[in-house]
Structure 1
């Protein structure tokens, strides 16, 4: 995603030996030629990196977990932080997953996505609770 600008790296040596860390991921930025902490990514960049990581992990799980196929991917929000170009790339990646017979569920408040998603469940809040309707464009 993002035309190969970023590459996620796992830091082998933690910055502080006594610090509690997770995966300790940093991002190599091809534009600057430098690695930096993942926490320095903008909201849109972070969303794209998280989506790329989730897709990569799902492929790894499928390859190493007895060939178990992951058929469904649910994405909750994040699209509002993307600029137009990044949104287009993210939608292309998700469309590719659908073409590979995966179900992709998107939870979002971004109105532009409504026009781009042909089948959707729209949930509308109301005074007496939410209502839901299935829409096929």
Structure 2
């Protein structure tokens, strides 16, 4: 271009043109990288692959937990996982992703907080054990250890009996099961035990 007498001619030299092409190509590469990273972010976000894996596993976890709950409650309790719920805003027609646990017994469906400590423990125990078994199956490995710490204290006599029966029913799924309790009536419920006794000189341990 020329601007009067003082006009100058600006022309991009070969090195300049090459640098422009390089910059343009690099910008396109960066844009592609951004798109790929956004896709990965969505895929591994809470509504992506993890949500799909959980949704696929939930029916198995629910079934195993209910099988165990049936033994623990004489068929009185069951759970159901809910993965979608309505928004509080009634104007929205779509559903939100969630993970709620609905618990039912002979009295109908109640909130988790409405169950006694013993009942809540049975639900927790059944879900945790079912989740552990499903994870082990997916990894193709046997569960090594199950630890139950003072779970019997919240149960009545019948609840303790059912819990012992449930543990015996799943004992072949674990290499070792450790039950920690202070209840003397459970001493004969299992074949092996480790007794810890506090003395004036400290604590002593006996394997029986």
Q: Shorter-chain TM-score category?
A: 0.7 to 0.9
Please, what is the CA RMSD of the aligned residues?
Answer: 2.5
* 2:74 aligned partner: 3
Cα deviation for residue 91 of structure 1 reads 0.4
Unmatched 5+ residue regions in structure 2? 1-71, 90-97
How far apart, in 1, do the equivalents of 2:142 and 2:172 lie?
Answer: 15
Cα 1:72/1:27, change in 2 over 3 Å? same
Normalised to the residue count of structure 2, the TM-score between the two structures is 0.54
Q: Deviations over 1:30-77 (max 9, x none)?
A: x12x3221122112111211211121111111122x212112211000
Maintained 8 Å contact 1:62/1:70: yes
Q: Structure 1 residue 67 and structure 2 residue 143: aligned? A: no
Structure with the larger RCO, 1 or 2 (CA within 8 Å, 6+ apart): 1
Alpha-carbon separation, structure 2, partners of 1:81 and 1:63: 30
Deviations 1:73-130 (A, max 9, x none): 1100020221121111110111122245542110001111112122111111233321
Asked if 1 retains the 8 angstrom alpha-carbon contact of 2:146 and 2:178, the reply is: yes
* SS of residue paired to 1:119: coil
Mapped to 2, the partners of 1:131 and 1:15 lie a distance apart of: 58
Equivalent residue of 1:46, what SS? helix
Q: How big is each residue's C-alpha offset from its partner over 1:8-32, in whole Å with a ceiling of 9 and x where there is no partner?
A: 2334439989xxxx95433122x12
* Structure 2 residue 117 is matched with structure 1 residue 36: no
1:84/1:75 Cα in 2 relative to 1: closer, same or farther (>3 Å)?
A: same
Name the structure 1 match of 2:178. Answer: 105
Provide runs of 4+ in structure 1 moved above 6 Å. 14-17
Matches within 5 A, 1:9-88: 9-11=80-82, 12-13=84-85, 24-29=100-105, 31-32=106-107, 34-64=108-138, 66-88=139-161
Structure 1: gaps (5+ residues): none
CA distance in 1, matches of 2:199, 2:86: 49
TM-score, reference length from structure 1: 0.79
Q: Greater share of helix residues, 1 or 2?
A: 2
Q: Which stretch shows the higher mean deviation, 126-135 or 88-97? A: 126-135
